[in-house]
Amino acid sequence: MLTSYANDPQMRDVLIFSGSAHPVLASSIARYLGLNLSPTIVRKFSNDNYFIQLGVSVRSKEVFIVQPISPPCSENLVELFFMLDIARSAGARSVHAVIPYYSYARSDKKDAPRISISGRLIADLMQAAGADHFITMTLHSAQVHGFFSVPTDHLTAHSVFVEHLQTRDLSNAVVLAPDIGHAKRAVKLARALDLPAAAGEKTRLGDDKVNVTGIMGNVTGKHVLLVDDEIATGSTIIETIRALRKEGVSHVTVLGTHGLFTGNAARDLDAVDEIDEIVVTNTVPLDEDRRPAPQRLKVLPVDHIFGEVIRRNVRGESVGELFEFWHKPKI
């Protein structure tokens, strides 16, 4: 665990604000830095328009606004637009959008006629609103990083997953990506744990429907560590495990940076006997009525990672080792 920097004099001009999406995470990030979360006033007029006000002066300050784009995504996004615009127009030295979960990253290509590549569009709109730096974690695909035309720190929760898994018996384990698109992330985890890796053959049929036709790699009778960027409806996990049953797999640990558990995901995942544990991070808030069974669910904190990248940005230090696809050079 990284150390708190409560007495760092270079943090005196840093202000941390939170929208409505995840104030608990924002408070934890501020606490790691030895700061108090600055107040934000959010309310609605009778016509459903927002009134938003930052509660302290931001003039000549380094302003960090924490707001994952989690459900309700549109409302949280509009709040973020307002807060970015306020900070810029009120004379902030720099405006940093801290977006632990960027939901629009799933829209990263034009795979149907007459649709928007909204991952790029939303990035442009946030920059237009006032963001001159972005901090996010585990984007759905690597190319989404390129949608941001200002400095962007694409972070990884890799370290907390490795630390957690090293406490488990991995003598018969294999790391599995649900599809080829996520294989690079799975291989990175496999190398850190000195384990083999495999990948599923997946075709997405809709928002909550996928087809897994097979598994590439040896998983027969193994304890499978199934790695994905997010867990929404749970359909990818459930269909992958159906394919794993044919390979004699009876123990699966599910790993996902963003634990959304939308719709009936918690109920559906609880019904899968092969799942031993579901491990996610706290990038998004998770209400009690959307959580899988508590004996299965483990939520790992990543506030220290966001706090550390904020500290390093303020001090002008490298943040490369915290990046999603950064590989430490051999000496």
Query: What CA–CA distance (Å, rounded) separates 323 from 321?
Result: 6
Which residues make Cβ contacts (< 8 Å) with residue 205, sequence separation at least 6? 211
Q: How far is CA 323 from CA 70, 95, 157, 256, in A?
A: 22, 20, 9, 17
Q: Is 328 a catalytic residue?
A: no
Contact (Cβ atoms closer than 8 angstroms) between residue 105 and residue 140: yes
In the set 61, 188, 202, 222, the catalytic residue is 202
Query: What CA–CA distance (Å, rounded) separates 86 from 129?
Result: 9
**In sequence order, what E strands does the chain have?**
14-18, 40-44, 50-54, 62-66, 94-99, 133-137, 152-155, 173-177, 197-206, 209-216, 223-231, 251-259, 275-281, 297-300
Contact (Cβ atoms closer than 8 angstroms) between residue 205 and residue 235: no
Active site residues: 202
